[in-house]
């Protein structure tokens, strides 16, 4: 393994940098800009059992050091992802991809994961129990240890590939939920998803986005991500994928010191589509600056 390599649930990544779900489409769109094979992997757009148009517009609101989105898991449904999106991806990406899955009932999660588990291109299943932008599912599973564990167990029964549960930061006790997922068989924990935020238009005196509230992401939430990754990594014995406000190589190293095995980059992709490539290019010099020989050696190094 090279200086940048890490092992994520038994699969070697050339580097720990992973574009986060919802900010990288199904990959081939970014392949028109640069060779996406430089990435460790990426988490593709949140996929549900059935097609979803998503929430009404407007769906995006700007704010200092971040943004709020309420896209609402717009996607073509798992059948079309398998028949149309993955074949396009295969033409431009020769590594295993992380499949991000959402649902509105335990049975939805199990159905979608079972379908994607059979796809050769899929390396990991990132099960999102933490989306704050949908009603009747998503975050409602991720804020209760028993519910998160139920989803985890149901998915593990029908899959053979590593299952990484993506958790919400909009909770009081993130550790109890992470431990419940681990006890139910999760192979990894992914966090944090977006915080819940809102903006109001002073001219209209109404919420900026039609959904009223949405997921707050961007550099402003980075300290929350570091704290939660640190808490969870010190409480579980499975890998943690860290994310939340990451925008440069220093952020990647900080999250790894907090305990992350790999690091996802989200909102920064929407500002600069080449940011993940640039972070990977910058990592060796930043490692030299801080006397780091291999990234795998610093995971959880902050005590």
Give the Cα separation of 249 and 251 in Å (integer): 5
Categorise residue 212: left if φ over 0, alpha if ψ from -120 to 50, beta otherwise: left
pLDDT tens by residue, 229-257:
999 999 999 999 999 999 999 999 999 99
Residue 9 annotated to the active site: no
pLDDT of 139 above 90 = no
Rounded to whole angstroms, what are the CA distances from 91 to 29, 30, 196, 258? 12, 13, 37, 36
In this prediction the pTM is: 0.95
Could you tell me the two tokens for 52? 């979803």
Lowest mean pLDDT among 5-9, 50-54, 136-140: 136-140
Q: What is the pLDDT of residue 141?
A: 66
pLDDT recorded at residue 8: 98
Beta strands in the chain (DSSP E): 6-8, 11-13, 17-19, 60-63, 66-69, 97-101, 122-128, 163-166, 188-191, 195-197, 200-201, 206-207, 214-217, 240-242, 262-265
Q: Of these residues, 131, 181, 274, 276, which one is catalytic? A: 131
Asked if the bond preceding 260 is cis, omega within 30° of 0, the reply is no
All domains of the chain in start order, with CATH: 6-297 (3.20.20.70)
Tokens representing 199 are: 């903006």
pLDDT score at 138: 46
């Amino acid at each position: 393994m090279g200086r940048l390599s890490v092992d994520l649930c038994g699969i070697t990544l050339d580097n720990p940098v992973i574009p986060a779900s919802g900010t990288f489409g199904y990959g081939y769109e970014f392949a028109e800009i640069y060779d996406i094979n430089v990435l460790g992997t990426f988490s593709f757009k949140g996929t549900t059992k059935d097609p979803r148009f998503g929430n009404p517009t407007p769906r995006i609101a700007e704010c200092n050091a971040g943004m709020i989105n309420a896209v609402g898991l717009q996607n073509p449904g798992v059948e079309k992802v398998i028949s149309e999106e993955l074949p396009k991806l295969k033409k431009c990406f020769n590594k295993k991809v992380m499949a991000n899955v959402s649902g509105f009932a335990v049975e939805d999660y199990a159905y979608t994961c079972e379908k994607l588990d059979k796809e050769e291109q899929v390396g990991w299943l990132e099960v999102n129990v933490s989306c704050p932008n949908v009603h009747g599912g998503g975050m409602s599973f991720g804020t209760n240890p028993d519910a998160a564990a139920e989803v985890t167990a149901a998915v593990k029964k029908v899959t053979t590939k590593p299952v990484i549960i993506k958790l919400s930061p909009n909770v009081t006790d993130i550790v109890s939920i992470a431990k419940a997922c681990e006890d139910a068989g999760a192979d990894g924990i992914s966090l944090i998803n977006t915080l819940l935020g809102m903006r109001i238009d002073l001219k209209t005196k109404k919420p900026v986005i039609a959904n009223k509230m949405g997921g707050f992401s961007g550099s402003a939430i980075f300290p929350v991500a570091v704290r939660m990754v640190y808490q969870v990594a010190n409480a579980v014995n499975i890998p943690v994928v860290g994310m939340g406000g990451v925008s440069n190589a220093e952020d990647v190293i900080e999250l790894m010191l907090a305990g992350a095995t790999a690091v996802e980059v989200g909102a920064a992709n929407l500002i600069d589509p080449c940011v993940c490539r640039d972070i990977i290019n910058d990592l060796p010099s930043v490692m030299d600056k801080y006397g780091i020989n291999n990234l795998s050696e610093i995971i959880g190094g902050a005590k």
